[in-house]
Amino acid sequence: MGPLADIKVLELGQLIAGPFCTRLLAEFGAQVIKIESPDGGDPLRQWRKLYEGKSLWWLLQARNKQSITINLKTAQGQEIVRRLAKDADVVVENFRPGTMEKWGLGYEDLSRENPGLVMVRLSGYGQTGPNRDKPGFGAIAEAMGGLRHVTGYPDRPPVRVGISLGDAVASLYGVIGALMALRNRDSNGGHGQVVDVALYEAVFSLMESLLPEYDVHGFVRERSGASLPGIAPSGTYTTHDGKYVVIGANGDSIFKRMMTAIGRDDLAHDPQLARNDGRALRGDELDEAIGAWCAAHDLEEVLAVLDAADVPSGKIFDVADIVNDLHYRARGMIEEAKLSDGKPFKIPGVVPKLSDTPGGTRWLGPDLGEHTQSVLSALGYDDDQIQELKTKGVV
């Protein structure tokens, strides 16, 4: 059932930010009704690798959700949404600001009938400000939020992380905001509110001390490749067998243990290196020493030495490493599911782990409009009315 089993959520939107937000709610029991266009539905259904015409990403992104089709540009379609919203707890939407209002489905419209409604609004630039009407994707948010500028190597153009990080981070803030707004509603008079999440702000919030360092010192953080300037030693190193190891030995006592373990007692006991501020001044020297040691040993030997010295380290996992890793399996992070033809396949487990009310996968992403009949019937539409709506192209 999950801790959110009594929460009803309407999802209006598509692709990543809104649907990932509702996926997390659905994983912990919320009833999520996903509203899709009758004309093909969410484009994510056809994104990346397909199996028998269905996106494998879709099966994951829409797990535990109900799919109904509604043409939101029609008056009858908009009325169905208003009826659904009357007893909903949360509406999540990621259209460009103003779109919901154009359809008569803005917060003022929906909360008039349901004052306790919480609306989570995810957009590139937020609901206010000079950029509110511009289209915004996660990639643009990563650029505006400062992440792209510091990602990559200093002698090359900025690069992207290999996933839609901006969308995912905004989704997490959407979930947090929804839960906080529900908590406030249930504790302070029953009124809902709007949770306004701008993708660029979600990214900017991750940027650590970027802003105060610039404001106080005029320092602009730049790309630094695999190292972490100002925190030393911490980086990625190449081993003798051509593999990569990430080492974080920037704690004072950890640094001493590591230097001793790799045979560099001179560095372990150098008073100038006892604290991070001193090590940061000699970061290149430390990287060179660690890099030389790693280059002389195979990955497994490097990891064995560092594990014995209790130094945080690890190889860089590809997906094959993940699938075969015992810790992933022990933590339930590799779930087994079945495709429509019964073929077994693996999907990621649920995060976070709750001891008493854990989340889980009840079903995979549904077919387009799979639940239209049942949801409309529960709203009071009879079979003839539903058929009429289908004939008119409303659903």
The catalytic residue positions are 167
For the record, the structure tokens of 72 come out as 């939101």
CB atoms within 10 A of CB 261: 18
Report how far residue 64's alpha carbon sits from residue 48's, in angstroms, rounded to the nearest whole number.
Answer: 21
Report how far residue 116's alpha carbon sits from residue 95's, in angstroms, rounded to the nearest whole number.
Answer: 22
CB atoms within 10 A of CB 97: 23
Report how far residue 217's alpha carbon sits from residue 213's, in angstroms, rounded to the nearest whole number.
Answer: 6
CB atoms within 10 A of CB 205: 12
Note whether 42 and 14 are within 8 A (CB): yes
CA-based angle 303:305:307, to the nearest 5?
Answer: 65
For the record, the structure tokens of 39 come out as 């004309």
For the record, the structure tokens of 326 come out as 């015992």
